[in-house]
Amino acid sequence: MEEKNKLYFDYASTTPIKENVMEAYVNASRMFYNPSALNFMSIEVKNKIEEARENILSILNAKPKSKLIFTSCATESNNSALRAFIRRKDKKYIISMGEHSSIYNTAKAMINEGYQIDFAPLNEDGRVNEKILFSMIDEKTTFVSLIHVNNETGAINDIENITRELKRLNPKIIVHVDGVQALGKIDVDLSKLGVDLYTFSGHKIGCVRGIAGLYIASNLNYTPYILGGGQEMGLRSGTENVAGILALEEAIKSLKITDLSGIKTAFIKNLTVPYKLISNDSCVPNIISIAFYGTRGETIMHMLDDLGFIVGTGSACNSKDKTNRVLDAMGVEKQTALGNLRISFDAIEIDEIVALAEAINKVVNEYLTKVKRN
Ligand code: PLP
């Protein structure tokens, strides 16, 4: 693939690999020994994996004796969490309408298999409607899965308070949280959050693709999703992705939460075309969902690509869907939602975001002029 000098604003989809993480990955790739074998080199590799596990659990302030299993991606972690705890047809389960498709589509499939899974609605700001969520809980509800930071809008669910209230309403409830877009962007302190299960993914935090994690609190009776040779304490079989695991450790060690609100402000300030800002001030600033009236997001995205700017339209996994489920659940009009772009970034230069705003002004004006002419 020919590398072009494009400016990248689709970090919520995936991130460039950080240099130190790449180095850790390359070095660890040379350690090809199978961690399950009993030779001396294999035992050394196995020890490195255990060290990485302990370090990650410690950085995330996990509860003592809790577990972390390494998976191939957050989609696997999310599927595994649902399959592990949605097992009885006489019980009730809840997810929100704001979940990533790896939760939402798994839940839909499981409903077809006969499980009772209900969907908690969203507020206009993209967060789960807590009042309705709590009213849905009864003694039959045993599992709730919520997204921490929404991947389309950046809306932040108040997981600490929600978990506390869910467990007050029914202490038997197990809470799973999809933290893929939260890690590295807001404080993730697993003890403070009080959750039972927490998903995260390497490639969203400057790590390689193909490695992710699922945190499992110590008291849980977790049924493995992938069976086989009994790796990962018997909870996730398959030969370990050693290089991925050590790269993930490095990526998590080097996470630094930075205030990106100035970049969001500069972007908005430099727009001269009419828009609806879907991500409000309570969202993480690094994900901006914005709709340009009278346009098609997909077309604008391609026009920007031609000019050297890469942006997203909703989530990458969702880009083939005709309607946007999450924006729909927030009450955004379909016609407006069609003109939606997702701009997501890390610590970039103000000049870069200003250049993007100017490019958007240009292509949106071009688009609207063409539509008027036709
Ligand atoms: N959950 C959220 C919130 C995401 O944003 C994504 C990726 O877009 C996923 C899960 C799936 O992550 P992965 O690509 O590691 O399967």
- 43-94, pLDDT tens digit by residue? 999 999 999 999 999 999 999 999 999 999 999 999 999 999 999 999 999 9
Return the DSSP state at 332: -
Q: Would you give the DSSP letter of residue 183?
A: B
CA of 75 to the centre of ligand 1 (A): 6
Ligand 1 proximity of 73 Cβ (cutoff 6 Å)? yes
- Could you tell me the distance, in angstroms and rounded to a whole number, from the CA of residue 76 to the centre of ligand 1? 9
Contact by Cβ (8 Å): 288, 279 = yes
Cα 342 versus chain centre, distance: 14
- 327: CB partners within 8 A, 6+ apart: 152, 153, 278, 289, 314, 337, 340
Residue minimizing CA distance to atom 12 of ligand 1: 74
How high is the pLDDT of residue 181?
98
Residue 372: per-residue pLDDT: 85
For residue 257, the CA-to-ligand 1 centroid distance in Å is 19
- Strand blocks (E) in the chain: 7-9, 67-71, 92-96, 116-120, 141-147, 174-178, 197-201, 212-216, 275-277, 287-292, 309-311, 340-344
SS3 label, residue 304: helix
Residue 181 and residue 150: Cα distance in Å, rounded?
Answer: 7
Identify the residue whose C-alpha is closest to ligand 1 atom 13. 74
Cβ neighbours of residue 161 under 8 Å, at least 6 residues apart?
130
Quote the ligand 1 centre to 74 CA distance (angstroms).
5
What sign results for the dihedral spanned by CA atoms 15, 327, 321, 271? negative
Contact 146, 174 (CB under 8 A): no
List residues bridging with 344 in a β-sheet: 10, 287
**CB-ligand 1 contact for 287 (6 Å cutoff):** no
> What confidence tens digit (pLDDT) does each residue in 150-205 have?
999 999 999 999 999 999 999 999 999 999 999 999 999 999 999 999 999 999 99
> Nearest residue CA, atom 8 of ligand 1?
13
Annotated active-site positions, please?
317
Q: Round to whole Å and give the CA distance between 151 and 182.
A: 9
Residues of the chain below pLDDT 70: 1-3, 314-322
Binding site membership of 315 for ligand 1 (Cβ less than 6 Å): yes
Please report the pLDDT score of residue 315 as a whole number: 43
What are the backbone dihedrals phi and psi of residue 168, each rounded to the nearest 5 degrees, phi first?
A: -70, -40
Give pTM, 2 decimals: 0.96
For the record, the structure tokens of 301 come out as: 């995205």
Tell me what the pLDDT averaged over the chain comes to.
96
Q: What is the pLDDT of residue 321?
A: 53
Q: Given ligand 1 and candidates 150, 204, 211, which is best to mutate, with the most ligand atoms within 8 Å of its CB?
A: 204
**Does 317 contact ligand 1 (Cβ within 6 A)?**
yes
Terminal CA-CA length for the chain: 36
